[in-house]
Structure 1
Amino acid sequence: MDMKKYLADLEKLVNIDCGSNVPEGVQEVTEFFKKELENDWLLKVYPQNDGKNPVLVAKNRDSEDIDLMFLGHNDTVFPKGTVPAWSYKLEGNIATGAGVYDMKSGVLSMIEVAKEFKDEDITIALVMNTDEEISSRYSRPVIEEVGKNAKYAMVFEPARKNGNAVIERKGLVKYKVEFFGKSSHAGNYPQEGINAILEASRWVTEISKLHNWDIKNSLNVGLIEGGSGVNIVPDYACIKFEGRSHQVEFFETIRKTMEELKANPLVEGIKVELEEIGYRPPLVLNDKSATLRDLFDESKAEMGIKYDWEVAGGCSDGNFLGVLGVGVVDAVGPVGGEAHSKNEYLDISTIEERIDLAKAVVRKMIDRKII
């Protein structure tokens, strides 16, 4: 492979402000990959979220039946203005910068792998979205539409800092709950007020009881707001929380708990509005995923690469595919660490190794007529 070009492309991409909520940035990255693929691939851009979060789908031939699907995302978690103060830097084997590890390197790697097999008698689909870091709220229908007819998928999210890949992931649900009360003077007319914060506090207490780490079910209230002064009965409050589990039943328990709380408020006259703002089903090992995992194990043993498989608490777009019966392996990109922080880094010495490993697996899949 042309490592010089790879690193030049990586620098260019990392130096684009392309957080999920930076439309001009994610559009620029999407255009970059369109130009990279337009001569040899069939391309379609889905203008999700009114064009603010486009999804690029590339296929090597015109078919709805997909033998192998590659997934990657072109957005980062970082806000607009991050890059000028924190641009790409390479020192020795360590590259740093916004999204260098999560996951510009992974997208470049998956394209490098896909190009190797574009002329084979299989159908390959590349899906690159720009809202993964906000739970793929807009791209999920596209991923599921392509994935419903897919046999296998590799998700090129980065490998763990210890080199491990991922075979299963927890599912996730996120909610926004708003409370509408009535303001009044807290000294003179407290009885006329309807305290939104009081009701929100009850919700925080009750739903937090669902957190049970003994069975690896987590629930975290991460944001809360409300009120405008200590002498005013607050007429508005809002909480945002997430639940994570390997069991879909946990998400149903959360929903039922919220319905009960809404139907039986502590504060008389309060109005409550619920909004699901993110969902990913659990990624659970199936027979096809096991087949793909075993091929990776066989290939890495032959190549002298050592790493293990992890069950992750974090989610990826692979979660959407597992529930469709697709065989999925995840985190097959290069090694690095400290994603979502200013300490994010990529070990460039692992780039070619992980690309070659993925290529070896695809070659086995073709030769053994798995695809």
Structure 2
Amino acid sequence: MSEGGVQGTVAEGFEGVREEFDAVFAEGITESGAQLAAYVNGQQVVDLWAGDGMAGDSLTGVYSVTKGAAHLVVALLVQDGLLELDREVASYWPQFAAEGKDRLTLRELLGHRAGLIGVDGGFSTEELADDRLLAARLAGLRPYWEPGTAYGYHAFVIGALTGEVVRRVTGRSIQELYEERVRAPYGLDFHLGLPEALESRYLDVLPMRTTPEQLAELRADAPAPDSLMAIAFGLNADPPTDLVELANTRTVRALGQASAGGVGNARGVAAMYAAAISEVDGRAPMLKPDTIAEFARLYSVGTDVVTGEEDQFGLGFQALGVRYPFLGEDAFGHGGAAGAQAFADPASGVAYGYVRRRFPFPPGGGSVENDRLAAAVVRAATA
């Protein structure tokens, strides 16, 4: 385990990535633990970690990075011809048609356009752990906006909704298919359902450290309890959903809910994206170029009606070529609430994974150090 300094290895030509990771650590950003891993054309070139108690194989909650794993499964099923993007969700899942949702397509659902972001009064942590329960509760509800007319981040429920479509078609959960088709064949240390035997490697997610001024800023920016933001992020529950508690609850980790319940490390999430776009261990890439183009193409853009921020989504994945201009237009992946980031960039062949243990200030997926770290990886890969 690390006693505070940076550990791990980089391939020849990637020394600049280690220097950037060293600099991030020296600034105190990763003092509570972080990991960085990267592949280029299916070969691992970066494997670094730092922070007290952190090891290269330590596991922690990765929040919405989980959405990338879940929607890799959906992409595979579309590629197989089992799911059709422009078919109505209700044709797979009849109960979903209630309250004016009958015309919403799978494409629109994947683009966060359903308007089905939560429930009045919120969910308990135990309810949030269970995708089947979430899907059953959401199916008959009236959406918070007319489906298809706007997009807003379905933070805790998108994986339950798309997962129910998957279950209706295959008879299997997203978690089961991910294990069978993605995690197990590649031995990935990224789990949608963490086995009890691996709990000894789990490190609790830690809350952000704030100054009194930062705390006052957070309180001043807190959304109203009846806002779309509060509904989507469970701030309308009693008590409000605690993101730290969510990841650190064994039931959530055990069930691996497909929106935010995944557990992994940088090695695992980077390897998943490497396998998606590159030959790894003699296996062909999981996704074909036309599937990548379909899922990575900008679909939901502009102002997110939940967060009020500008964002860019493909289908199920964040389209990251806008956020990170050094990536190609087909780059796809997903950040996570504690600052994690993971993506594949077919243009450079880079697959990237960054996981951190403590929430950043300000909170949010893909914390700011990723701008520097990801740029250093791509710069080395394309030198």
TM-score class, shorter = under 0.3
Which of 1 and 2 has greater Rg? 1
With structure 1 as the length reference, what TM-score do the two structures score? 0.26
Structure with the higher fraction of residues in strand conformation = 1
